[in-house]
Amino acid sequence: MINIYSLKELIDTKKYLDFNSLQHILINADALEVLDIIPEDCIDLVVTSPPYDNLRDYKNEIVWNYEIFKNIATKLYRVIKKGGTIVWVVGDKTDNKNKTLTSFRQALYFQEIGFKIYDVIIYEKSGTGPPHPGRYFNAFEYMFVISKGSIKTVNIIKDKLNKWGGKSTFSNITRREKDGTLTNKGKKIINKYGIRTNIWKYVNGKNFSTRDGIAYKHPAIFPEKLVKDHIISWSNEGDIVLDPFGGSGTTAKIARELNRKWLYIEKVKEYCQIAKERLNGN
Protein backbone atom coordinates (compact mmCIF):
# COMPACT_ATOMS: atom_id res chain seq x y z
CA MET A 1 0.00 0.00 0.00
CA ILE A 2 1.40 3.37 -1.08
CA ASN A 3 0.87 6.17 1.46
CA ILE A 4 0.90 9.96 1.33
CA TYR A 5 3.03 11.92 3.79
CA SER A 6 3.17 15.62 4.56
CA LEU A 7 6.46 17.35 5.29
CA LYS A 8 5.48 17.57 8.97
CA GLU A 9 4.84 13.82 9.11
CA LEU A 10 8.22 13.12 7.53
CA ILE A 11 9.90 15.24 10.17
CA ASP A 12 7.79 14.01 13.12
CA THR A 13 8.40 10.37 12.22
CA LYS A 14 12.07 11.13 11.46
CA LYS A 15 11.73 9.42 8.08
CA TYR A 16 13.92 12.11 6.57
CA LEU A 17 16.86 10.82 8.64
CA ASP A 18 16.85 7.53 6.70
CA PHE A 19 16.78 8.04 2.94
CA ASN A 20 15.43 4.54 2.35
CA SER A 21 12.32 5.61 4.25
CA LEU A 22 11.75 8.41 1.75
CA GLN A 23 11.58 5.99 -1.18
CA HIS A 24 8.36 4.52 -2.56
CA ILE A 25 6.15 7.07 -0.81
CA LEU A 26 4.13 10.06 -1.98
CA ILE A 27 5.15 13.34 -0.41
CA ASN A 28 2.50 16.06 -0.38
CA ALA A 29 4.65 19.16 0.05
CA ASP A 30 6.49 21.91 -1.77
CA ALA A 31 9.52 20.53 -3.65
CA LEU A 32 11.58 23.49 -2.41
CA GLU A 33 11.16 22.24 1.16
CA VAL A 34 11.48 18.52 0.49
CA LEU A 35 14.67 18.90 -1.55
CA ASP A 36 16.27 20.43 1.54
CA ILE A 37 15.85 17.22 3.56
CA ILE A 38 17.01 14.84 0.82
CA PRO A 39 20.69 13.86 1.30
CA GLU A 40 23.32 15.15 -1.10
CA ASP A 41 24.37 13.12 -4.14
CA CYS A 42 21.72 10.41 -3.87
CA ILE A 43 19.44 10.73 -6.92
CA ASP A 44 20.36 8.96 -10.17
CA LEU A 45 17.67 10.38 -12.45
CA VAL A 46 15.01 13.09 -12.44
CA VAL A 47 12.16 12.84 -14.96
CA THR A 48 9.77 15.75 -14.62
CA SER A 49 7.76 18.49 -16.27
CA PRO A 50 7.61 21.74 -14.28
CA PRO A 51 4.55 24.06 -14.22
CA TYR A 52 5.97 26.25 -16.95
CA ASP A 53 4.77 29.70 -17.96
CA ASN A 54 1.52 29.50 -15.97
CA LEU A 55 -0.23 27.60 -18.77
CA ARG A 56 -2.25 25.74 -16.12
CA ASP A 57 -3.54 27.03 -12.80
CA TYR A 58 -3.00 23.75 -10.84
CA LYS A 59 -5.86 24.46 -8.45
CA ASN A 60 -4.27 27.88 -7.78
CA GLU A 61 -2.00 26.19 -5.24
CA ILE A 62 1.29 26.50 -7.10
CA VAL A 63 3.31 29.68 -7.49
CA TRP A 64 5.88 29.40 -10.27
CA ASN A 65 8.29 31.94 -11.71
CA TYR A 66 11.89 32.16 -12.87
CA GLU A 67 13.28 32.84 -9.39
CA ILE A 68 11.55 29.76 -8.00
CA PHE A 69 12.88 27.76 -10.94
CA LYS A 70 16.45 28.85 -10.16
CA ASN A 71 16.00 27.79 -6.55
CA ILE A 72 14.71 24.37 -7.64
CA ALA A 73 17.57 23.92 -10.14
CA THR A 74 20.18 24.71 -7.46
CA LYS A 75 18.62 22.27 -5.00
CA LEU A 76 18.50 19.57 -7.69
CA TYR A 77 22.21 20.03 -8.30
CA ARG A 78 22.84 19.26 -4.63
CA VAL A 79 20.81 16.03 -4.50
CA ILE A 80 21.76 14.50 -7.85
CA LYS A 81 24.70 12.11 -7.96
CA LYS A 82 27.78 12.93 -9.98
CA GLY A 83 26.98 11.65 -13.45
CA GLY A 84 23.26 11.70 -12.71
CA THR A 85 20.71 13.05 -15.14
CA ILE A 86 17.68 15.33 -15.33
CA VAL A 87 15.06 15.02 -18.06
CA TRP A 88 13.34 18.42 -18.08
CA VAL A 89 10.20 18.40 -20.25
CA VAL A 90 9.14 21.97 -20.97
CA GLY A 91 7.44 24.23 -23.48
CA ASP A 92 6.90 27.95 -24.03
CA LYS A 93 3.91 30.21 -23.85
CA THR A 94 2.98 32.63 -26.61
CA ASP A 95 2.36 35.96 -24.88
CA ASN A 96 1.29 39.05 -26.81
CA LYS A 97 2.33 37.34 -30.08
CA ASN A 98 5.74 36.59 -28.63
CA LYS A 99 7.29 33.27 -27.60
CA THR A 100 8.62 33.54 -24.05
CA LEU A 101 11.57 31.15 -24.66
CA THR A 102 11.47 30.33 -20.95
CA SER A 103 12.66 26.84 -21.84
CA PHE A 104 15.92 28.21 -23.26
CA ARG A 105 16.47 30.47 -20.26
CA GLN A 106 16.07 27.48 -17.97
CA ALA A 107 18.45 25.31 -20.00
CA LEU A 108 21.08 28.04 -19.98
CA TYR A 109 20.70 28.46 -16.22
CA PHE A 110 21.25 24.75 -15.69
CA GLN A 111 24.55 25.21 -17.56
CA GLU A 112 25.39 28.30 -15.55
CA ILE A 113 25.23 26.42 -12.22
CA GLY A 114 27.40 23.54 -13.43
CA PHE A 115 25.16 21.11 -15.29
CA LYS A 116 25.82 19.97 -18.86
CA ILE A 117 23.14 19.89 -21.55
CA TYR A 118 23.80 16.36 -22.77
CA ASP A 119 21.08 16.36 -25.41
CA VAL A 120 18.00 18.24 -26.57
CA ILE A 121 15.20 15.93 -27.67
CA ILE A 122 12.00 17.08 -29.32
CA TYR A 123 8.78 15.62 -27.96
CA GLU A 124 6.47 15.56 -30.99
CA LYS A 125 2.83 15.26 -29.96
CA SER A 126 0.10 13.68 -32.04
CA GLY A 127 -2.50 16.05 -30.59
CA THR A 128 -1.83 19.68 -31.49
CA GLY A 129 -4.75 21.53 -29.95
CA PRO A 130 -6.17 24.76 -31.40
CA PRO A 131 -3.84 26.93 -33.49
CA HIS A 132 -2.81 30.47 -32.71
CA PRO A 133 -4.12 32.81 -35.42
CA GLY A 134 -1.53 33.24 -38.17
CA ARG A 135 0.78 30.53 -36.84
CA TYR A 136 1.50 26.90 -37.61
CA PHE A 137 0.17 24.26 -35.24
CA ASN A 138 2.43 23.86 -32.22
CA ALA A 139 3.15 20.12 -32.09
CA PHE A 140 6.20 19.78 -29.85
CA GLU A 141 7.87 20.45 -26.52
CA TYR A 142 11.52 20.31 -25.50
CA MET A 143 13.05 17.50 -23.46
CA PHE A 144 16.39 18.71 -22.14
CA VAL A 145 18.66 15.88 -21.03
CA ILE A 146 20.89 17.45 -18.39
CA SER A 147 23.81 15.78 -16.61
CA LYS A 148 25.82 16.59 -13.51
CA GLY A 149 29.30 16.19 -14.94
CA SER A 150 29.95 13.39 -17.41
CA ILE A 151 26.79 11.32 -17.78
CA LYS A 152 27.18 7.88 -16.18
CA THR A 153 24.39 5.88 -17.81
CA VAL A 154 23.42 5.85 -21.49
CA ASN A 155 21.30 2.98 -22.81
CA ILE A 156 20.60 3.99 -26.39
CA ILE A 157 17.27 2.75 -27.75
CA LYS A 158 17.54 1.17 -31.20
CA ASP A 159 14.02 0.98 -32.60
CA LYS A 160 14.23 3.02 -35.80
CA LEU A 161 13.35 0.78 -38.73
CA ASN A 162 15.99 1.02 -41.47
CA LYS A 163 14.63 0.84 -45.01
CA TRP A 164 17.39 -1.46 -46.21
CA GLY A 165 18.01 -3.16 -42.88
CA GLY A 166 19.12 -6.76 -43.08
CA LYS A 167 18.94 -6.81 -46.87
CA SER A 168 22.07 -5.28 -48.29
CA THR A 169 25.77 -4.80 -47.75
CA PHE A 170 26.77 -1.29 -48.69
CA SER A 171 30.30 -0.54 -49.85
CA ASN A 172 32.23 2.68 -49.93
CA ILE A 173 30.76 4.08 -46.72
CA THR A 174 32.34 7.51 -46.51
CA ARG A 175 32.67 10.35 -44.00
CA ARG A 176 33.19 14.00 -44.86
CA GLU A 177 36.24 15.31 -42.99
CA LYS A 178 36.75 18.80 -41.64
CA ASP A 179 38.83 19.80 -44.67
CA GLY A 180 36.07 18.64 -47.02
CA THR A 181 37.72 15.41 -48.20
CA LEU A 182 35.97 12.04 -48.08
CA THR A 183 37.36 9.14 -46.07
CA ASN A 184 36.38 5.62 -47.14
CA LYS A 185 35.18 3.72 -44.07
CA GLY A 186 34.78 0.35 -45.85
CA LYS A 187 31.72 -1.90 -45.98
CA LYS A 188 28.84 -1.94 -43.57
CA ILE A 189 25.82 -4.20 -43.11
CA ILE A 190 22.73 -2.20 -42.27
CA ASN A 191 20.85 -3.66 -39.30
CA LYS A 192 17.07 -3.94 -39.34
CA TYR A 193 16.77 -1.42 -36.51
CA GLY A 194 19.04 1.52 -35.77
CA ILE A 195 19.38 4.35 -33.27
CA ARG A 196 16.35 6.62 -33.23
CA THR A 197 16.68 10.32 -33.96
CA ASN A 198 16.33 13.02 -31.32
CA ILE A 199 12.72 13.64 -32.34
CA TRP A 200 10.50 11.31 -30.32
CA LYS A 201 6.86 11.10 -31.39
CA TYR A 202 4.12 9.94 -29.05
CA VAL A 203 0.38 9.55 -29.41
CA ASN A 204 -1.02 11.63 -26.58
CA GLY A 205 -4.46 12.51 -25.30
CA LYS A 206 -7.32 10.60 -23.66
CA ASN A 207 -6.74 6.83 -23.55
CA PHE A 208 -3.39 7.21 -25.34
CA SER A 209 -1.08 8.80 -22.75
CA THR A 210 -2.26 6.16 -20.27
CA ARG A 211 -5.11 3.71 -19.79
CA ASP A 212 -5.55 4.93 -16.20
CA GLY A 213 -8.73 6.97 -16.46
CA ILE A 214 -8.18 8.71 -13.12
CA ALA A 215 -4.93 10.26 -14.41
CA TYR A 216 -6.90 12.59 -16.66
CA LYS A 217 -8.19 14.44 -13.61
CA HIS A 218 -4.76 16.08 -13.70
CA PRO A 219 -4.62 18.91 -16.27
CA ALA A 220 -1.24 18.11 -17.82
CA ILE A 221 0.01 14.51 -18.00
CA PHE A 222 2.76 13.19 -20.21
CA PRO A 223 2.63 9.78 -21.96
CA GLU A 224 3.76 6.73 -20.02
CA LYS A 225 5.79 5.64 -23.07
CA LEU A 226 7.74 8.92 -23.00
CA VAL A 227 8.69 8.38 -19.36
CA LYS A 228 9.53 4.72 -20.00
CA ASP A 229 11.92 5.60 -22.83
CA HIS A 230 13.78 8.15 -20.69
CA ILE A 231 14.06 5.90 -17.66
CA ILE A 232 15.44 3.10 -19.84
CA SER A 233 17.85 5.49 -21.58
CA TRP A 234 19.37 7.21 -18.55
CA SER A 235 19.17 4.74 -15.64
CA ASN A 236 19.62 1.12 -14.66
CA GLU A 237 17.61 -1.24 -12.46
CA GLY A 238 17.93 -0.30 -8.80
CA ASP A 239 18.63 3.38 -9.53
CA ILE A 240 16.66 6.10 -7.77
CA VAL A 241 14.27 8.15 -9.91
CA LEU A 242 12.80 11.42 -8.62
CA ASP A 243 9.90 13.54 -9.86
CA PRO A 244 9.75 16.80 -7.86
CA PHE A 245 6.53 17.82 -9.67
CA GLY A 246 4.93 14.40 -9.43
CA GLY A 247 1.48 15.27 -10.73
CA SER A 248 -0.59 12.20 -11.58
CA GLY A 249 2.27 9.85 -10.67
CA THR A 250 3.39 8.70 -14.13
CA THR A 251 7.12 8.83 -13.35
CA ALA A 252 6.65 6.89 -10.10
CA LYS A 253 4.46 4.29 -11.79
CA ILE A 254 6.86 3.61 -14.67
CA ALA A 255 9.93 3.67 -12.41
CA ARG A 256 8.35 0.95 -10.30
CA GLU A 257 7.45 -1.12 -13.38
CA LEU A 258 11.07 -0.89 -14.56
CA ASN A 259 12.51 -1.98 -11.19
CA ARG A 260 13.83 1.42 -10.22
CA LYS A 261 13.45 3.00 -6.81
CA TRP A 262 11.34 6.14 -6.88
CA LEU A 263 10.52 9.31 -4.98
CA TYR A 264 7.44 11.43 -5.70
CA ILE A 265 6.86 15.03 -4.54
CA GLU A 266 3.72 17.04 -5.28
CA LYS A 267 2.31 20.15 -3.63
CA VAL A 268 -1.35 19.72 -4.65
CA LYS A 269 -3.04 17.17 -2.37
CA GLU A 270 -5.66 16.22 -4.96
CA TYR A 271 -2.94 15.18 -7.41
CA CYS A 272 -1.25 13.11 -4.70
CA GLN A 273 -4.52 11.23 -4.24
CA ILE A 274 -4.68 10.56 -7.99
CA ALA A 275 -1.13 9.18 -7.90
CA LYS A 276 -1.94 7.06 -4.84
CA GLU A 277 -4.92 5.47 -6.56
CA ARG A 278 -2.89 4.77 -9.72
CA LEU A 279 -0.02 3.21 -7.79
CA ASN A 280 -2.34 1.14 -5.62
CA GLY A 281 -4.16 -0.10 -8.70
CA ASN A 282 -7.54 1.43 -7.86
Residue type (1 letter), 256: R
Give the pLDDT confidence score for residue 208 in this predicted structure. Answer: 64
Query: Looking at the structure, do residues 131 and 265 belong to the same domain, yes or no?
Result: yes
Least confident segment among 189-203, 208-222, 229-243, 251-265: 208-222
pTM above 0.85, yes or no: yes
Q: Where does the pLDDT of residue 170 fall: very low under 50, low under 70, confident under 90, or very high at 90 and above? A: low
Together in a domain, 72 and 53: yes
Q: At what angle do helices 102-112 and 66-79 cross, to 10 degrees?
A: 40
Residues 72, 178 share a domain: no
| Residues 104 and 226 grouped into a single domain | yes
Range with the poorest average pLDDT among 87-91, 108-112, 137-141, 241-245 = 137-141
Domain ranges, residue 229: 4-157+196-279
Rounded to 10 degrees, the C-alpha dihedral 270/275/278/281 comes to -90
Cα–Cα–Cα angle for 140, 125, 142, rounded to 5 degrees: 30
When divided into structural domains, the chain yields a total of 2
- State which amino acid sits at residue 222: F
With a cut of 90, say whether residue 259 has pLDDT above it.
yes
Q: What is the mean pLDDT of residues 88-105?
A: 90
For residues 98-117, give the mean pLDDT: 96
Mean pLDDT, the chain, rounded, equals 87
Q: What is the CATH number of the domain that holds 102?
A: 3.40.50.150
State residue 39's pLDDT score.
93
In percent, how much of the chain has pLDDT > 90? 58
Condensed to tens digits (0 to 9), the pLDDT of residues 49-79 reads 998 776 555 566 667 899 999 999 999 999 9
Section 195-216 average pLDDT: 79
User: Radius of gyration of the chain from Cα atoms?
Assistant: 21
Of 195, 221, 250, at which residue does a domain stop?
195
Of 195, 219, 247, the residue at which a domain comes to its end is 195
For residues 143 and 122, give the distance between their C-alpha atoms in angstroms, rounded to a whole number.
6
Can you tell me the mean pLDDT for 170-190? 70
Q: Please compute the mean of the pLDDT values over residues 104-115 and round it to a whole number.
A: 98
Q: Which of 184, 165, 188, 186 is nearest to 176 (CA)?
A: 184
CB-neighbour burial class of residue 121 (10 A; exposed 0-12, middle 13-18, buried 19+): buried
pLDDT at 223 over 60: yes
231-249 average pLDDT score:
96
- The three-state secondary structure class of 87 is strand
Q: Are strands 43-48 and 80-90 parallel, antiparallel or unpaired?
A: parallel
Same domain assignment for residues 21 and 61: yes
- Quick one: 141 and 188 in the same domain? no
Q: Quote the pLDDT of residue 155.
A: 98
At residue 130, the pLDDT reads 65
Integer CA distances (angstroms), 4 to 40, 45, 93, in order: 23, 22, 32
| Strands 169-170 vs 188-189: parallel, antiparallel or unpaired | antiparallel
